[in-house]
């Protein structure tokens, strides 16, 4: 007796698409992993003596353990990689501030914890901050604009926090945030070149004192402005 082979096309189709989705996910993960290797390789080569503009595509690819041709699957050129690094550096700064807030919520001085958290970044991942410092005054207009944008985001997020946490006048909160970022960036620039622990501690104390002066002035100015508004 002849048997008829019955094929369920719907089951085959479903299984095919399941495998396709799995393979697509694996490829996406692999692509992101390779992209990450290139980003980390570029950051890892930055130093006091080397800026991003001095890096070559071949150097970055070699450091990442990839063929130079693989670079173009992730970035169109070194400029695109550089802009990606600036974006990541800005994100790192904002995440740093959120991390400091979490530590502050557990108790302690807002300014002391913020400075300590920032100095930990300089010690553990100084090249992220070094990139922002260098490219803020670099030769590339696109890089300068990107760094200014990231610093502005950081400043505005700090401004929002100061305004709500300390009940400050909006304009005063912005002035305090802007001054604080300027002071912290200056301290960070100095910290990159300091290896002595005692000297680093002195720099941290000096930065904390400067930020406290600004905070007191901001609080007094904000109170005066609020009092003037009530009289009107």
Q: Is the confidence at residue 207, as pLDDT, over 90?
A: yes
Residue-wise pLDDT tens digits, 146-194: 999 999 999 999 999 999 989 999 999 999 999 999 999 999 999 998 9
Q: Residue 17 — very low, low, confident or very high, per pLDDT cuts 50/70/90?
A: low
Same fold for the pair 10-75 and 77-232? no
- pLDDT given for residue 5 in this prediction: 53
- Per-residue pLDDT, 52: 87
- Give the tens place of pLDDT for each residue, 20-70: 565 556 666 788 889 999 999 999 898 878 888 889 999 999 999 999 999
Output the six-digit token pair for 43.
């950051």
Predicted TM-score of the model (pTM) = 0.79
pLDDT at 3 over 60: no
- What DSSP line would sit under 21-82, residue for residue? HHHHHHHHHHHHHHHHHHHHHHHHT--SS--GGG--HHHHHHHTT--HHHHTTT-SSHHHHH
CA distance 215 to 172: 10
The class level of CATH for 77-232 reads mainly alpha
Among 13-22, 38-47, 69-78, 123-132, which is the least confidently predicted range? 13-22
What per-residue confidence (pLDDT) applies to 10? 59
Residue 163 tokens read as 């305004």
Residue with token string 């720099």: 203
Domain parsing of the chain, residue ranges? 10-75, 77-232
The whole-angstrom distance between residue 26's C-alpha and the CA centroid of its chain comes to 27
Phi, psi of 46 (to 5 degrees): -75, 145
Say which residues have a Cβ less than 8 Å from residue 61's Cβ, sequence separation at least 6: 38, 41, 67, 68, 70, 71
CA pair distance 104, 37, nearest whole angstrom: 34
Architecture of domain 10-75: Orthogonal Bundle (1.10)
- Per-residue confidence band for 141, with pLDDT thresholds at 50, 70 and 90: confident
Q: How far apart are CA 129 and CA 188, in angstroms?
A: 8
35 CB-near residues (< 8 Å, 6+ apart): 74
Q: How confident is the model at residue 98 (pLDDT cuts 50, 70, 90)?
A: confident
The token pair at 133 is 């410092």
Would you say residue 104 has pLDDT above 60? yes
pLDDT at position 155: 93
């Amino acid at each position: 007796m002849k048997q008829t082979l019955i094929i369920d096309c719907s089951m085959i189709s479903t299984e095919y698409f399941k495998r396709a989705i799995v393979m697509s996910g694996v490829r996406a993960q692999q692509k992101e992993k390779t992209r990450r290797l290139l980003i980390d390789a570029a950051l890892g080569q930055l130093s006091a003596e080397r800026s991003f503009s001095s890096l070559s595509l071949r150097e970055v690819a070699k450091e990442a353990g990839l063929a130079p041709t693989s670079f173009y699957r992730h970035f169109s050129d070194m400029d695109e990689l550089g802009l990606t690094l600036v974006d990541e550096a800005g994100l790192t700064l904002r995440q740093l501030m959120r991390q400091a807030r979490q530590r502050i919520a557990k108790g302690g001085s807002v300014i002391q914890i913020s400075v300590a958290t920032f100095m930990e970044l300089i010690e553990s991942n100084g090249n992220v901050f070094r990139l922002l410092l260098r490219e803020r005054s670099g030769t590339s207009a696109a890089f300068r604009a990107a760094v200014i944008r990231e610093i502005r985001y950081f400043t505005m997020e700090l401004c929002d926090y100061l305004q709500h946490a300390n009940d400050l006048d909006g304009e005063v909160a912005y002035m305090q945030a802007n001054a604080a970022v300027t002071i912290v960036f200056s301290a960070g620039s100095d910290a990159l070149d300091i290896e002595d622990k005692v000297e680093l501690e002195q720099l941290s104390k000096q930065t904390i004192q400067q930020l406290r002066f600004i905070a007191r002035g901001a609080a007094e100015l904000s109170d005066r402005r609020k009092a003037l508004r009530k009289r009107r």
